[in-house]
Amino acid sequence: MKKIVVEKNKSGNRIDKFLKEEVFLNMETTRGEIIRNIKAEQILVNGKKIKPSYLLKENDEIEINILKKLTRITPNKNVIFEIIHEDESLIVLNKPAGLQVHPSTKGEPDTLVEGLLYRFPEIKKVGDAPKVRPGIVHRLDRDTSGIMLVAKNQKTFLELKDKFKNHEIEKVYWAIVYGHFSQKKGLIEKPLAKSTDYKKQIIAGEKTKTKVRSALTEYEVLKKIGKFSLLKVSLKTGRTHQIRIHLSSIGHPIVGDEKYKLKSIERNTAIQKQLLHAKHLAFSLFGKKHSYTAQLPEDFNRFLTKEQ
């Protein structure tokens, strides 16, 4: 158990925001996890249950009964991933589906950052939270394969971080989805928000209570493959699960995506991981243009071949 007494200059803050920014800043604990712990009465204020929106007062005593501290990650030679490019500033890699980028408070073993530390020990002090995600500028979902950038020094990390924030990096994905399209190209512009239990994203509506963020996804149908379609998807914003929830919202969920599946569609039980692949990234870095492509994984290629 941990107890924290709120100082005067921190009064007026929401407790969930305070805990995320002040207590767990350098840990891979999400605000959603904090909110769930508050609702489960594992975080109390002055010995009482409170809401995540509770505004802290000076001398409030916060009692934290869970939220385990993340142990420091260690190099792991057994984590396998493909290096597409490496120079003095940058690592470009192809992450396999099923590999988590970094551990959370659940303590998942064999993550990408552990493999990176083994092969590139120089990144151990790079980033906002190097003890848990050294060099990591952006992420892919565990079951999404494809291209990722990793910074080898702090200067590169900060430059890439700004470029992702300002949407200055071209990001292209390939996805296999259920169904066919009447138009070859389309644009999905639907704002996203967290569900009230913070476990998934939802299309925001007028009564949405969580923070609403704009989201814009472009897609192009490359070809029909049996009852499915192969799409080229370009992100104009970078929201969590954006491609997955956007495509599901128009009736074309990604094959293998269990979180955003539609009950009305018969599932393909032969596919264990979602068929979403980060295929291409293009950007400028310190005056030099970069463009990289990640090869499709075997299960993706097998599906394309089988369904012809």
Q: Are residues 159 and 213 in the same domain?
A: no
Task: Determine whether 141 is an active site residue.
Answer: yes
Let me know how long the chain is. Answer: 308
Count Cβ atoms below 10 Å from residue 234 Cβ, excluding itself: 16
* CATH number of the domain to which 141 belongs: 3.30.2350.10
* Three-state DSSP state, 282: strand
CATH number of residue 37's parent domain: 3.10.290.10
Containing 279, the helix (H) or strand (E) segment is strand 276-285
Range of the structural domain that residue 122 is part of:
70-166
Distance CA 39, CA 111 (A): 29
The mean-pLDDT minimum among 10-19, 26-35, 88-97, 164-173 falls in: 26-35
Are residues 29 and 52 part of one domain?
A: yes
Alpha helices in 2-99 (DSSP H): 15-18, 31-39
Q: What pLDDT does 71 receive? A: 53
Do 179 and 140 share a structural domain?
no
129-159: b (≥16 Cβ within 10 Å) or e:
ebebbbbbbbbbbbbbbbbbbbbbbeebbeb
Q: What is the rounded distance in angstroms from the CA atom of residue 35 to the CA atom of residue 66?
A: 12
Q: How high is the mean pLDDT of the chain?
A: 89
Task: Say if residue 233 is in the same domain as residue 255.
Answer: yes
Catalytic residue among 16, 87, 128, 141: 141
Q: What is the mean pLDDT of residues 256-281?
A: 87
Quick one: residue 113, left, alpha or beta (phi over 0 = left, psi -120 to 50 = alpha)? alpha
CA distance 169 to 41: 42
Dihedral of the alpha carbons of 23, 27, 29, 34, in degrees to the nearest 10: -10
Predicted confidence (pLDDT) per residue in 118-177, tens digit? 999 999 999 987 877 899 999 999 999 999 999 999 999 999 999 999 999 999 999 999
- Is 70 exceeded by the pLDDT of residue 28? no
* Helix locations, the chain, DSSP H: 15-18, 31-39, 112-119, 154-165, 242-249, 298-306
Task: Indicate the residue among 123, 151, 166 that finishes a domain.
Answer: 166
Provide the 10 A C-beta neighbour count for residue 99.
Answer: 19
For residue 12, what are its two tokens?
Answer: 């007026």
Q: Are residues 155 and 195 in the same domain?
A: no
Strand 185-189 and strand 216-225: the pairing is antiparallel
